[in-house]
Amino acid sequence: MNQIPKKSLRILLKAALLFVVFNYAFSFVPDSVLWRVSLFNTVLPGEPRFPKEGNLDFIFNMHEIASSPQRADEYKVVALGDSSVWGYSLEPNETFAGIINASGMSTCKGQPIHVYNLGYPGTSVLKDALILQRALPYKPDLIIWNVTLLSMFDSKIDIDFSVLPPSNPEIAQNFIEQYKLSTKITPPTGSALQTRSFLNRREQIARFIKYQLDGIRWQAVGREPVDKATPPLAMDVAANKLFKRGGIITPEVLPNRLEFNVLNAGIRMAGNTPIVIINEPILVVNGANSGIRYDEVYPHWAYDRYRVLMTAKAKQYHWDYTDLWNIIPPSQFTSIFHRTVNSEKTYTQVIQDIIKKNTCP
């Protein structure tokens, strides 16, 4: 009778040992291999915008740009930026990328133009630069980089404004060191062996599998519509000049907190690929205290100073820079940064003119 419990115990110990070995052996499976096993861009078409995940290999292997080498004849435009580029409260085909792609736009030489929406929620030019670095092997012909004051702020703060850099610490740190940047990122807790183990990645793997199943369902019955219900925006703002970004920012500190070096590093990294930098539209309220603040985030002094600095840096470094900060009326925003369907059409016309300028000089 004693042999049965002993045998069971040996089986349990062997199973536990095998799981421990598997758990930590899984750490040696690189992300580039793990997330490549995807139905997207093989059985299913690639996604027109990134899923809200932090791993670069995860999101790129699901995105339609991963299959772009199969379309060698197209003129590839990469659009970088925050959630306003990604298309918050918009369907993928309602973003400026989606509208241009549906329009059949082509170059003067007859090349079909395709805009790849590589916008990612979160305001961080470091996040944009890491996405750009990952996108360059796909050989874009033009890069449109949307920025705003918040995205230009450095990362030496207590709050992470994008999950992407800390979710890709090795890639981010290599970029920082390569271009000798002073930017700091929040490293993950635990050793690389622990953070990449099966147990630590199991939730991400489960979400990855769910995306594959969702993709099959989307092909069969279509997607759930995006929730467009947004409360009306208040046009009245507080009667103060405070500007906060991980703490109160003063006029003396502001110029030194802007990451022009990261923006310039991205441009250098792109080499001969042309980059157009756009200061994207913001909400400009027209109610009480609108002479003090543009909206609840930006006081006049901070945003005006930022625009002056951006113009000066663009001239200094010979950037192709366009300032579109106030081209959208306040009634056409769903939040401080996000545009309605109608205003996205207005923005699209400007983007199309920029593309034409670069494709038909």
Task: Kindly state the tokens that stand for 357.
Answer: 């300028």
CA atoms within 13 A on the CB side of 104: 0
Burial 253-282 (b: 16+ CB within 10 A, else e): ebeeebbbbbbbbbbebbeebebbbbbbbb
Q: Tell me the per-residue pLDDT of 92-148, one tens digit each, with 9 for 90 and over.
A: 999 999 999 999 999 999 999 999 999 999 999 999 999 999 999 999 999 999 999
Q: What is the pLDDT of residue 11?
A: 60
Task: Kindly state the tokens that stand for 327.
Answer: 């081209």
Q: How far apart are CA 225 and CA 218, in angstroms?
A: 11
Find the DSSP H helices in the chain: 3-25, 31-34, 56-62, 83-86, 96-103, 125-135, 164-167, 169-178, 192-195, 198-221, 260-270, 300-317, 341-359
Task: Kindly state the tokens that stand for 140.
Answer: 């874009």
Domain ranges of the chain: 76-185+233-359
Q: What is the pLDDT of residue 25?
A: 45
Q: How far apart are CA 239 and CA 299, in angstroms?
A: 10
Residue stretches of the chain with pLDDT short of 50? 1, 19-28, 157-160, 191, 193, 198
Bridge partner residues of 258 (DSSP): 153
Task: Kindly state the tokens that stand for 64.
Answer: 């339609």
Q: How far apart are CA 187 and CA 169, in angstroms?
A: 6
Q: What is the pLDDT of residue 70?
A: 85
Q: What is the pLDDT of residue 195?
A: 59
Q: How far apart are CA 179 and CA 106, in angstroms?
A: 35
DSSP codes of every residue in 328-341: S-GGGBSSSSPBPH
CATH superfamily of domain region 76-185+233-359:
SGNH hydrolase (3.40.50.1110)
Residue with tokens 């309605």: 340
Q: How far apart are CA 37 and CA 209, in angstroms?
A: 10
